[in-house]
């Protein structure tokens, strides 16, 4: 069916907004609902989308009430009793999840997909940057705002490749048909959806069956998941030689990270990481593997890796001077937090590092509070806010205090209200401050940066 209009329920989401931009650039009418206005929704409105912020059927524009010409796209985070969603269901519109739309695009393009518990956004953004800067080109739907482009979306109509962040939440990535995919990690998450670690791992195994014939699967070494593809299976790793793609001759110092890429396609010497943190070595290896499969040359890859500026809220420095540093990171899973803090320790050895963490979801806190405590115990001081609920209702007995109670002995800690975060930053001694989490704590980043610069 040829649609003339697309209506988004949850248009301000990072993944949804990328698809909205895709349709806007293709000349379709775009409108939608979101809970609150944000810089991203304001940008979409400036680009031509009509957006409102009340769940009210009367606010749906007339041009989007014809089911023969309107596609409705919704995010799984929208509750089932959402009145606008129910309106479109009752009137039998074609309603698709965001992942279904992306899946359709993987049938018309060569999908280069990045799946995994963590590392997806940075790895896919790196791969998209490499290909966009190369002769290959690409389209891209990313889970974060890239600093190189100020957007989560790249459109190159003449390119056959499309880079997609393959989200395992709600089994969304099962709609995809990748030409090549990376799986970065399979640490259990979203147990409110999957129930057990075994079901989570099985979901990834099924995902590997969806790779197109003669496609490519690139696995991080050491994953518990067993793939079941008939495709080429290669592995990647950091500096151990266990992976088909790996780093060699690694040099960290003077604010730089350099290494050589050992690859079954073509080795690349003297790669400079544009964002020099340890976790980006593995992210970069995976991204370069995808770029090599797509045909980017060693020189193109080397130049793009050096010019990659990072992604908002992914190891995102707001202040970096000889006295203090402040950065924010989207890390919201225990292993992500562990890697993030380890990378900071690597860059700032011997410094007093303080973290402010806003737990994301009651169920995730319930399932992993001991693991969160273990990871956060690497900090010199841990400051926790109340849990960010997102789509969930409170669970009796599940609070941030559970994490504090399980920190290792000797780790300083305090539980605060989110509204008090600015005062706490003023009063807390630190050399390096990091705010962690996938909630709305980042809304304070600009004010925190002003305070840190004034200290």
**137 and 264 within one domain:** yes
pLDDT at residue 187, rounded to an integer: 84
Q: Residue 195, by phi and psi: left (phi above 0), alpha (psi -120 to 50) or beta?
A: left
Mean per-residue pLDDT, 34-38 = 93
What is the average per-residue pLDDT within 191-218?
Answer: 90
Provide mean pLDDT across the span 310-326: 88
We report the CATH number of the domain holding residue 408 as 3.90.190.20
CATH of the domain at 71: 3.40.50.720
Q: Which residue has the higher pLDDT, 335 or 162?
A: 162
Confidence class for position 238, pLDDT limits 50, 70, 90: low
User: Are 212 and 250 a contacting pair, CB within 8 Å?
Assistant: no
Q: What is the pTM assigned to this prediction?
A: 0.78
Low-confidence winner among 53-67, 261-275, 337-351, 431-445 (lowest mean pLDDT): 337-351
Q: Is 239's pLDDT higher than 60? A: no
- Helices in 170-246 by DSSP H: which ranges? 191-194, 197-208
Question: Does 164 share its domain with 233?
Answer: yes
Tell me, yes or no, whether 104 lies in a domain: no
Tell me the CA distances in angstroms from 271 to 102, 268, 279, 281, one per residue in order. 32, 7, 15, 10
Q: Are 198 and 224 in contact (CB under 8 A)?
A: no
Asked if residue 243 is part of any domain, the answer here is: yes
Tokens (6 digits) for 1: 């069916």
In a domain, 40, yes or no: yes
> Would 103 be classed as within a structural domain?
no
pLDDT for residue 257 is more than 60? yes
Cα(172)–Cα(194) distance, rounded to whole angstroms? 12
Distance, in Å, from the CA atom of 278 to the CA atom of 276, rounded to the nearest integer, reads 7
Say if residue 231's pLDDT is above 60. no
In a domain, 102, yes or no: no
pLDDT band per the 50, 70, 90 thresholds, residue 230: low
**Interatomic CA distance for residues 408 and 126, integer angstroms:** 36
pLDDT at residue 62, as a whole number: 96
Q: Are both 137 and 261 inside the same structural domain?
A: yes
pLDDT in tens, 272-311: 999 888 889 999 999 999 999 999 999 999 999 999 999 9
**Together in a domain, 291 and 410:** no
Tokens 């990378």 belong to residue: 343
Report the C-alpha gap between 289 and 234 in whole angstroms.
Answer: 9
Q: Tell me the average pLDDT across 202-208.
A: 93
Res. 237: pLDDT tops 60:
yes
The total of structural domains in the chain comes to 3
Average pLDDT rounded to a whole number, residues 127-132 = 98
Range of the structural domain that residue 399 is part of: 316-454
Q: Mark which of 254, 286, 307 sits at the end of a domain.
A: 307
**Boundary (domain end) residue, out of 307, 337, 369:** 307
In this predicted structure, what is the pLDDT of residue 224?
A: 84
Task: Determine the pLDDT at residue 252.
Answer: 84
Q: What is the phi/psi pair of residue 256, to 5°? A: -125, 155
d(CA 241, CA 361): 38
Looking at the structure, do residues 206 and 173 belong to the same domain, yes or no? yes
Domain match, 38 and 174 both: no
Task: Please identify, among 97, 117, 134, the residue that sits at the C-terminal boundary of a domain.
Answer: 97
Percent of the chain with pLDDT over 70: 98
- Domain CATH number, residue 132: 3.40.1190.10
Report, in this order, helix, strand and coil percent for the chain, each rounded to 5: 35, 25, 40
Residues 22 and 82 in one domain: yes
Task: Give the confidence band of 243 by pLDDT, cuts at 50, 70, 90.
Answer: confident
Residues 164 and 290 in one domain: yes
Tell whether 240 and 178 lie within a shared domain.
Answer: yes
Between the alpha carbon of residue 207 and those of residues 16, 50, 83, 195, 425, the distances in Å are 21, 35, 33, 18, 43
pLDDT band at 312 (very low <50, low <70, confident <90, very high): confident
Distance CA 192, CA 93 (A): 29
> Is it the case that residue 233 has pLDDT exceeding 80?
no
* Statement to judge: residues 68 and 115 lie in one domain: no
Alpha helices (H) in 91-151, listed in sequence order: 98-108, 120-133
Same domain for 157 and 130 = yes
Same domain, residue pair 267 and 396 = no
Q: Mean per-residue pLDDT for 89-108?
A: 92
Tell me if 216 is assigned to some domain: yes
Q: What is the mean pLDDT of the chain?
A: 92
């Amino acid at each position: 069916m040829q649609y003339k209009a697309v209506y988004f329920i949850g248009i301000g989401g990072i993944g949804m907004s990328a698809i909205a931009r895709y349709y806007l650039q293709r000349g379709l009418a775009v409108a939608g609902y979101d809970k609150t206005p944000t810089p991203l929704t304001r940008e979409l409105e400036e680009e031509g989308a009509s957006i409102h912020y009340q769940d009210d059927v009367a606010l749906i524009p007339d041009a989007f009430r014809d089911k023969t010409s309107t596609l409705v796209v919704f995010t799984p985070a929208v509750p089932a009793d959402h009145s606008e969603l129910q309106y479109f269901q009752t009137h039998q519109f074609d309603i698709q999840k965001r992942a279904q739309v992306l899946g359709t695009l993987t049938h018309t393009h060569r999908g280069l997909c990045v799946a995994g518990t963590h590392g997806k956004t940075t790895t896919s953004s790196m791969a998209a940057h490499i290909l966009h800067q190369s002769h290959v080109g690409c389209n891209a739907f990313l889970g974060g705002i890239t600093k190189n482009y100020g957007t989560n979306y790249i459109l190159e109509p003449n390119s056959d490749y499309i880079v997609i962040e393959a989200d395992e939440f709600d089994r969304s990535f099962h709609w995809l048909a990748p030409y090549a995919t990376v799986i970065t990690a399979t640490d259990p998450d979203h147990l409110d959806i999957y129930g057990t670690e075994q079901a989570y791992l099985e979901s990834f195994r099924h995902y590997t069956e969806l790779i197109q014939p003669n496609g490519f699967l690139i696995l991080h070494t050491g994953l518990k998941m067993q793939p079941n593809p008939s495709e080429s299976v290669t592995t990647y790793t950091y500096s151990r030689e266990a992976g088909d793609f790996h780093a060699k001759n690694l040099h960290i110092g003077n604010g730089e990270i350099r290494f050589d890429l050992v690859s079954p396609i073509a080795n690349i010497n003297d790669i400079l990481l544009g964002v020099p943190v340890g976790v980006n070595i593995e992210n970069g290896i995976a991204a370069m593997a995808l770029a090599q499969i797509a045909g980017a040359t060693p020189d193109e890859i080397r130049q793009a890796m050096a010019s990659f500026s990072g992604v908002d809220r992914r190891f995102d420095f707001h202040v970096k001077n000889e006295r203090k540093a402040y950065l924010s990171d989207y890390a919201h899973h225990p292993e992500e937090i562990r890697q993030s803090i380890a990378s900071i320790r690597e860059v700032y050895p011997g410094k007093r590092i303080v973290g402010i963490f806003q737990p994301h979801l009651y169920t995730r806190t319930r399932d992993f509070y001991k693991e969160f405590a273990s990871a956060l115990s690497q900090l010199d001081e841990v400051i926790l806010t109340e849990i960010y609920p997102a789509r969930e209702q409170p669970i009796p007995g599940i609070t941030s205090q559970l994490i504090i109670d399980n920190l290792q002995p000797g780790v300083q800690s305090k539980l605060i209200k989110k509204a008090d975060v600015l005062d706490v930053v003023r009063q807390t001694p630190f050399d390096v401050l990091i705010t962690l989490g996938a909630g709305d704590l980042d809304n304070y980043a600009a004010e925190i940066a002003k305070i840190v610069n004034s200290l």
